[in-house]
Amino acid sequence: MAAHVLLEAEKRGIRLYLAGANLAYKAPPGALTADLRTSIVEHKSAIIQLLVARGESHQIVHPSTKAKTGGPTPETTHDGAWGALDFDSDSKRSPRTPRERILAQLFSESLRRECSNIEENFFDLGGDSILAAGLIDGIRSTFNIEIPLSVLIKAPTVAAIACYMEQNSPSEMFDVLLPLRPTGNSPALFCVHPIGGCSWSYAGLLKYLAPDVPLFGLQARGIIGNSLPAASMEEMAADYLAQIRKAQPNGPYHLLGWSAGAIVAHAIATMIQDEGGDVAMLASLDGVPIGQPKLPLPSLESERIVKCLRLVGYDKPVSDPSNMSLDKVSDLLHLARHPLAALSLANLAGMVRTVLQMSQIIHTYVPEKAFKGQLIFFQAERDHYKKPLRSEIWKPYVSGEVFHCQVDAQHGDMMQLGALDQIGPIVAQRMRKFSTSYQSTNHD
């Protein structure tokens, strides 16, 4: 029998009660943001995890049913909160973390249909025991973790499985080398983070790449723990190249970078060539060298935080910027459903430090050497309509042709679905073309 769940939304937090069970979940203090609906949905995965741990399925119920379930009566509810909540509509959420994106892709492959809602039930979408076995096998080969069939039956959504994995496997979310698809027989695609330092969004490329192409993201140091961000472009490129070679010791290498990451990818590519290595593809997602004098950093912490928000693509108005804090940043990112909303306050502090340091490096860096080969440049057309082609900026730093591809998107949306539908097939086609010619040459 399903455990009935009663959520009590209070001014001081969110509580969970399981009817007829001696168990309660209370969200941490301050977890309730201005958007009550978002806050409750954000904690839904933690709630489901508790139920999975107890071996129970889950059902969220409205307080009007509390008499039937035997749950406690809410004592201090947020004014009008319950009437505004609609858990069915709120649960229609797209993947945000790399783990959720990869799981959604595995769901889609197993079901042979699109699965873009992380709250959709695998079995309601047509899954059965045979397809479940295939999904479990895919999860095992991709994440190197075993998901028991009993867990899939009790937690049959992307969100619930991602939460289970977070609790039962080491987190790779902030590793410098982020494995988005760690295995495959073909040369991998390595994607360098934009200025925010995280590479989770590159998981959106998985659906376009051939199944045997591994995919890795490179992420900035300094976001978590006591590690410090790189002090120079040379240090950053050398660090990332060492990480790349852990996954793929020899070329040919395929490199891609978005925004600031494109400049780092170019530096890595020339470093590989200097050492006699082979770079088969270099692609830039609307990133170009700047080479300008260093800009002074804001002196006030609140001003630094606001600058960081702008650098990571948050373009909405900020009220009272002089009083901006990390708590307020977290709330803004959650309300905007920004990919960086998953960061804790400690990680947000690391991100601010890393973003500001990287902005200084990128703003002043001028490539010393030209890349020996071709470069694919994807221009965010909505930001640069009727302006000079930004791809021209790359010509002094590339010995071969610069292929210009217009993308109907803004710079900050290059890894959103509409832009991915334009970028993904071109990247995949380039990699297939090289792979075919490379195999033919080696065979001869």
* Length of the chain counted residue by residue: 444
Confidence of residue 408 (pLDDT cuts 50, 70, 90): very high
Q: Which amino acid is at 385?
A: Y
Instruction: Band the pLDDT of 362: cuts 50, 70, 90.
Output: confident
Q: Are residues 64 and 104 in the same domain?
A: no
In Å, how far from its chain's centre is CA 221?
16
| Domain, as residue range, for 408 | 177-291+359-443
Q: What domain count does the chain have?
A: 3
Q: What CATH number is given to the structural domain containing 411?
A: 3.40.50.1820
pLDDT tens for each residue of 15-50: 443 333 333 444 444 443 434 444 444 445 555 454
CATH code, domain carrying 162: 1.10.1200.10
**22 and 155 inside one domain:** no
Where residue 330 falls among pLDDT bands split at 50, 70, 90?
confident
Question: Same structural domain for residues 270 and 148?
Answer: no
Q: In the predicted model, what is the mean pLDDT of residues 114-126?
A: 87
For 69-73, 420-424, 438-442, which range has the lowest pLDDT when averaged over its residues? 69-73
Residues 102 and 120 grouped into a single domain: yes
Structural domain contains residue 326: no
Instruction: Report which DSSP code applies to 205.
Output: G
Question: What pLDDT is recorded for position 92?
Answer: 60
Query: Can you list the alpha helix ranges (DSSP code H) found in 92-215?
Result: 98-111, 129-143, 149-154, 158-168
Of 76-90, 360-374, 424-438, the one with minimum mean pLDDT is 76-90
281 and 220 within one domain:
yes
- Model pLDDT, residue 228: 80
For residues 154 and 48, membership in a common domain is answered with: no
**262 within a domain of the structure (yes/no):** yes
- Does one domain contain both 61 and 151? no
State residue 293's pLDDT score: 66
Q: What pLDDT does residue 18 have?
A: 36
DSSP secondary structure code for residue 295 in this structure: P
pLDDT category, 166, cuts 50, 70, 90?
confident
Task: Flag whether pLDDT at 355 surpasses 90.
Answer: no
- The verdict on residue 309 lying in a domain is no
What is the per-residue pLDDT for 342? 65
Q: Indicate whether 303 belongs to any domain.
A: no
Say whether both 129 and 71 belong to one domain.
no
More confident residue, 434 or 128: 128
Q: What is the pLDDT at residue 443?
A: 45
| 181, part of any domain | yes
Contact yes or no for 188/215 (Cβ under 8 A) = yes
**Residue 347: per-residue pLDDT:** 79
Closest CA to 5 of 89, 82, 94, 70: 70
Regarding whether 365 and 240 lie in a shared domain, the answer is: yes
Residues 368 and 273 in one domain: yes
Q: Give yes or no: residues 252 and 275 share one domain.
A: yes
The verdict on 286 and 404 lying in the same domain is yes
Final residue belonging to a domain, choices 71, 90, 109: 90
